[in-house]
Structure 1
Amino acid sequence: MDTDPRSPVCLAPHFAFLPIDSNKGEIRLLKIELGRYGEVIKCSYRLTTVTGDVQYETLSYVWGDLQVDKTIIVEDTEVGLTDNLFNALTRIRHETELRHLWVDALCINQEDGAEKTAQVDMMHKIFSECAQCYMWMGNIEASAIGVKESEALEAAKGALDAIRLLSGEDSEYKLPPSLTTRDQRAKAGNAIKALFQSPWWSRIWTVQEATSPRLGTVLWGPISIPWHYLTQVAERLIQGKWPPEDRFSIFDLFENYNFLTSPMLALIWASRWIEAPHPPYEMLYRFRYRRSTDPRDKVYVILNLVAEGSYPLPSVRSSDYGVPAAVLYRRVMLDLLRDEYGLRPLIGFRGEPKSVPGLPSWVVDWSTPPAGQERAAFWEHIKFWYKYTADRGLPMLDLNNLTSPEHGEDVLNVNGVFFDKILVCSDVIAENDGSDRLHEKARETITRAVAEDPRFRIVSEVYWQAVLDDIITGNCADSTESMEGSTADVYWRLQMLRHQRLFITEGGAAGLGPSGTSVGDEIWVLSGGRSPFLLGPLKASDPVVKHEDSSYHYSFRGDVFIPGIMRGEAVDSRKDTQRYVHIH
């Protein structure tokens, strides 16, 4: 049997999909025959359209471990499935009712690129027109809940009963038998956490599959609960609409509920994009760290979250799986820069590695980074972006010449002024670095600077100490401004230092830059950049440089903070030195 190694389905060489015409809006449905638990699952195909006369349901699930070791029968042919997909179909198959189910791996010919593109483009319609969507969370795992195998099902039932109570469906908050004791409630709380630890919550396509259907049902092993209960719980918890303390204390379940409200609120926001889409960079960043088997899906899912006929990314009008991921991501980045009329999509880089081969340094890698690697801090940096005007006095970003035939599509051309070079920098600031260690890194950086250039001794040492202290303590942020539940200076200390480096320049300036900051890197103020940016000079010998003269050719590092130039001061005295830089 042959299989796509990235698919949860293994098809025999002679297996033939029932032909469909996507141009007519046709889709395949899997008709699941009646059967009892343990009997072979037998299916056949039926053609229809999303608005046809066949009432159908959809399945939202995680491909998961792609080891194929279960089988079903489709069109009288044996088909291999992964455990997770097999378990989902086993759960949905009914003894007395036929099921017409749309499930991606079995209803789309994954080997036919044209069909896959057309069907993926139809997925919003497929899910929005279904009778209901089954959201398969997997089997109930005792180890995930922290109970004995014999207690797992009861704990899970208690979890769903608790969700019903928190949803406000029962205004009297009558406790069911599964929640009468504190021990039961504690186990139910652990089970709710286990439910939200299901891999389903980390998959990119489940965003669309959860937000498009009119009706959804969460399936968890043999038990289920309506999807809208979960949305109601999240909204009520955020609004402070808790059950009466004397009837049902939420803290008997868990001390903190961010694990529930955070993913649910993100999905609630996404469900509203069909009517009021957010800026495309926000939509992409909102679910950036969800997983996808194909890195291109991180972009294509956005097309299915906005109104039909609207194109938030002008160069990406369909889910074209013939386009390499690196080319797609580069086109997306250019779309974002043009949509923003500026360089905001470039902020927050903190040394995150590229997983997609051939990706230019200035292009965001939307695929999930390797575990344990730094993650970009876009949401943190954006809170300070509009407070700065480093590019004041420069012309607007030239949207028509971001790339050029001379340098190629992978090279970003931006006008700007040179400010300075990095003389020395600290070690990368770790997340667990305390105040003492941060001040120690500042002193080490100053010592290195004096050793590199003794002219800076005495006068500059005092200045550097003051500047770096302000950066470390957050004195560069407004202590009277509220930000994410704290003041801006506290937020700065908590979020703006990790995975960054302190540095001192050859001209004596001091600042904060990304983890990739290196000696000799250059600081530029660029058109469309409210913050200065750090660029790494390239050499003629670098493979990406296709010119004998490598002057003004760079690799992108990230945005930097330097007191004294965040309000346009660097541009005021350098307007006559403007020139284009070429970022590879």
Structure 2
Amino acid sequence: MNNHHDDSARMEANSLSLPECRATSYVYQPLDDATQSIRLIRLQPALSFDTDVQCDIYHVTLDTRPIYEALSYAWGDAKVTSPIFLEGCPFQATVNLVSALRHLRHEDKTRTLWVDAICIDQSNIQERGHQVAFMATIYSMAESDILWLGDDPHDDAETAFKFIQNMCHTFNNLPPKGKERTKAVRAAYSVLGEDAPVTPLQRIMNNRPIWKRIWIVQEIVVARKVSIQCGNHSMSWDSLGPFMYLIQNDHSLWQQPGALFFFENVLETIQYAALINTVRISYHEPGHRASILELWSQFYDLLATDPRDKIFALLGLAAPMSLDSNADYTKPAPEIFTMAVRTIIYQTKKLDALCMGHRQPANRALPTWVVDFGSCAYFSFPFWRNPIYLASGNTDVSSDTVIHPALDPAKLVVSGLQLDTILTCHYTTTSNGIQTWLDLRPMIQNLPHDILKHRYHTGESMVVALARTITGDMSFGPFEERQRMQESRSISRDIQSILSWTGRLHDQLGKEGDILSVLYGSNVPHVLRKVPGKEDTYTLVGTAYVHGFMYGEAIQWRDQGKLKGQKFNLI
């Protein structure tokens, strides 16, 4: 192994003498693109924390199963750097990375690491894309993933880590159920909970840039082992996972005196880590890979230096997806996003991707049917999985009958049903005052009275159906539960209760002349706007995720075959 290392180091190092090398920035030697070839560094030992960071760097192929650890960290400001030395040559690394290497190096032996900022030539776009393509393999083959949280200026790590470990140990040894457990939980919480280090936990588990970084999701999820390190203190992810499960699921803890404030704060503190842990658990179970659409909907608000990374960072976690671009940084973000949505549609045989991101600010560089994956803007609820919005049932997208070929890659040609044309629109936001039954009454009075005499196809009154449309149906439970509620109180009180629940009232669906359509394989109706002067060409205005008068009829029309599908060219 030492001979191999010496040969590799000589291959990678410059031919300059040491004095010359120290005055010249490090120059990379090319990797072998025909194999899964990577670089590793050997972090040299140092007795003093302030000693310069010295590393050897060499090439290996993953099929030789090299032994190394991977580092997960937040880069920090790329413009604020400090020098380390690769093969004696200076290399500018971010301040956070230099601090991590100083904390991680041993006093008496080398440590072999894979670090993206060092082991990938970041100035070489083609190499960067090639390495990113098998990043999941790199982290999954590492002996351990070191999750570097950063320095510990407030000495929080020891306090927070000990609390997490002690709480897990204590509650794992409590009686499983019954009065004995109730007494034991009360006693344990009186010891642990009252002195819970809420502020240190917040500073460790929430107020760290690493938790807001999109790449961290893949790195933690695929790793065999994860070691969390903050300053000089470390803890296994195997301790953090049970702690998060305990906080989220053991409701007996919440019932303890004074516990509510603590647990609400801790839940907020661990939200990102808990979400990653959920994906980590499912990832390692056979057949439980999520789609990239589901993954992005969970982590859309995480940050990336390059917007394309909002796709590339999740590819390794998603169900297999033949995305031709893979991790091609030579292609612009709009092209990557467009190709991703088209691939999602073909592979899932659903048009759920059209439901995503329509409430984001418009991005003129993207077609209207493509999600701006690079945006962190709030998007609509994941209603595509909610049965009450299945406007086209379980219809699969057949590539030959629903998705049609398009010469223009920015155009999506799909089949659907035209339900109606929008003649008038009403804003239904709380700013317009529609919050009570009295506010809704003028809208009801303007409707034809013969409509209101009938029952909706679910058995509900038309008035209730209208109220559900306005509120987006987000405040209702299952139909059977709603029916029981109507038996016990008047419709007016029911609607007043619904409409007083603020925060779920939606903006207008479209403008005058917009066409309301149901596209085959889409779970909800969409509002399409005709493009003047272009035959059968539309833009996707938004998603009409409403119950209302059209959703049920769309199902009836489709099932009874009363309407034939037509083509919509979405641009």
Q: TM-score range by the shorter chain?
A: 0.7 to 0.9
CA distance in 2: counterparts of 1:320 and 1:170, whole angstroms: 48
The superposition leaves residues 298-322 of structure 1 with CA deviations (integer Å, 9 ceiling, x where unpaired) of 222333226xxxx622234732222
Q: Could you tell me which residue of structure 1 aligns to residue 551 of structure 2? A: 566
The superposition leaves residues 523-573 of structure 1 with CA deviations (integer Å, 9 ceiling, x where unpaired) of 112222342211122223xxxxxxxx3454333422342523323245589
CA distance in 2: counterparts of 1:110 and 1:330, whole angstroms: 25
Q: Could you tell me which residue of structure 1 aligns to residue 333 of structure 2? A: 325
CA distance in 1: counterparts of 2:351 and 2:304, whole angstroms: 27
CA distance in 2: counterparts of 1:436 and 1:95, whole angstroms: 68
Equivalent of residue 374 in structure 2, options 363, 367, 384: 367
1:369-388 matched pairs, under 5 angstroms: 369=376, 373=377, 375-379=378-382, 381-384=383-386, 386-388=387-389
Equivalent of residue 532 in structure 1, options 520, 525, 538: 525
Q: Could you tell me which residue of structure 2 aligns to residue 300 of structure 1? A: 312
Q: Does the 8 A contact of 1:17 with 1:109 survive in 2?
A: yes
Q: Could you tell me which residue of structure 1 aligns to residue 199 of structure 2? A: 190
Q: Could you tell me which residue of structure 2 aligns to residue 162 of structure 1? A: 163
Q: Could you tell me which residue of structure 2 aligns to residue 523 of structure 1? A: 516
Aligned-pair CA distance for 1:32: 1.8
CA distance in 2: counterparts of 1:494 and 1:340, whole angstroms: 38
CA distance in 1: counterparts of 2:24 and 2:121, whole angstroms: 13
Residues 21 and 501 of structure 1: is their aligned pair in 2 closer, same or farther, counting only changes over 3 Å?
same
Residues 363 and 16 of structure 1: is their aligned pair in 2 closer, same or farther, counting only changes over 3 Å?
same
CA distance in 1: counterparts of 2:203 and 2:372, whole angstroms: 30
Q: Could you tell me which residue of structure 1 aligns to residue 122 of structure 2? A: 110
Equivalent of residue 136 in structure 1, options 148, 151, 155: 148
The superposition leaves residues 425-460 of structure 1 with CA deviations (integer Å, 9 ceiling, x where unpaired) of 344636xx798646677468679xx6xxxxx68778
CA distance in 1: counterparts of 2:74 and 2:389, whole angstroms: 43
CA distance in 2: counterparts of 1:533 and 1:496, whole angstroms: 24
CA distance in 2: counterparts of 1:298 and 1:88, whole angstroms: 25
Q: Does the 8 A contact of 1:158 with 1:185 survive in 2?
A: no
Aligned-pair CA distance for 1:362: 0.7
Equivalent of residue 215 in structure 1, options 225, 231, 234: 225
1:29 partner amino acid: L
2:524 partner SS: coil
Aligned-pair CA distance for 1:350: 4.6
The superposition leaves residues 10-46 of structure 1 with CA deviations (integer Å, 9 ceiling, x where unpaired) of x998531133324333221122222211222122212
Q: Could you tell me which residue of structure 2 aligns to residue 93 of structure 1? A: 105
| Identical pairs, percent | 22
Residues 245 and 536 of structure 1: is their aligned pair in 2 closer, same or farther, counting only changes over 3 Å?
closer
Aligned-pair CA distance for 1:574: 8.8
Residues 579 and 160 of structure 1: is their aligned pair in 2 closer, same or farther, counting only changes over 3 Å?
same
2:467 partner amino acid: D
Residues 1:34 and 2:42 aligned together: no
Q: Could you tell me which residue of structure 2 aligns to residue 414 of structure 1? A: 414
Q: Could you tell me which residue of structure 2 aligns to residue 203 of structure 1? A: 213
Aligned-pair CA distance for 1:360: 0.8
The superposition leaves residues 272-325 of structure 1 with CA deviations (integer Å, 9 ceiling, x where unpaired) of 32532123432332322222222222222333226xxxx622234732222322
Equivalent of residue 20 in structure 1, options 23, 27, 31: 31
Q: Could you tell me which residue of structure 2 aligns to residue 546 of structure 1? A: none
2:168 partner amino acid: S
5+ residue gaps, structure 2, are: 1-21, 175-183, 454-460, 483-494
Residues 1:582 and 2:569 aligned together: yes
Q: Could you tell me which residue of structure 2 aligns to residue 424 of structure 1? A: 424
2:549 partner SS: coil
CA distance in 2: counterparts of 1:494 and 1:319, whole angstroms: 48
CA distance in 1: counterparts of 2:137 and 2:496, whole angstroms: 45
2:204 partner amino acid: L
Q: Does the 8 A contact of 1:423 with 1:520 survive in 2?
A: yes
1:32 partner amino acid: L
5+ residue gaps, structure 1, are: 1-10, 142-151, 451-455, 483-488, 503-512, 541-548
Q: Does the 8 A contact of 2:415 with 2:565 survive in 1?
A: yes
Comparing 18-27 with 102-111, which one deviates more in the overlay? 18-27
CA distance in 2: counterparts of 1:124 and 1:490, whole angstroms: 52
Aligned residues: 508
CA distance in 1: counterparts of 2:112 and 2:530, whole angstroms: 59
Aligned-pair CA distance for 1:71: 1.9
Aligned-pair CA distance for 1:89: 1.8
Residues 297 and 481 of structure 1: is their aligned pair in 2 closer, same or farther, counting only changes over 3 Å?
farther
Comparing 277-286 with 491-500, which one deviates more in the overlay? 491-500
Aligned-pair CA distance for 1:87: 1.9
Higher helix share: 2
Aligned-pair CA distance for 1:228: 1.2
Aligned-pair CA distance for 1:232: 1.6
Q: Could you tell me which residue of structure 2 aligns to residue 231 of structure 1? A: 241
CA distance in 2: counterparts of 1:81 and 1:196, whole angstroms: 25
Q: Could you tell me which residue of structure 1 aligns to residue 178 of structure 2? A: none
Equivalent of residue 498 in structure 1, options 496, 500, 504: 504
1:358 partner amino acid: A
Residues 1:123 and 2:138 aligned together: no
TM-score (norm 1): 0.74
CA distance in 2: counterparts of 1:30 and 1:200, whole angstroms: 22
Aligned-pair CA distance for 1:477: 5.1
The superposition leaves residues 393-420 of structure 1 with CA deviations (integer Å, 9 ceiling, x where unpaired) of x9964423635345x1211112223222
Residues 383 and 398 of structure 1: is their aligned pair in 2 closer, same or farther, counting only changes over 3 Å?
closer
The superposition leaves residues 329-385 of structure 1 with CA deviations (integer Å, 9 ceiling, x where unpaired) of 112212222233232222254521245x6211111121133xxx5x22242x1343x
Residues 1:268 and 2:277 aligned together: yes
1:478 partner amino acid: P
TM-score (norm 2): 0.76
CA distance in 2: counterparts of 1:317 and 1:491, whole angstroms: 50
CA distance in 2: counterparts of 1:500 and 1:364, whole angstroms: 20
CA distance in 1: counterparts of 2:223 and 2:168, whole angstroms: 20
The superposition leaves residues 193-220 of structure 1 with CA deviations (integer Å, 9 ceiling, x where unpaired) of 2222122112111112112222221111
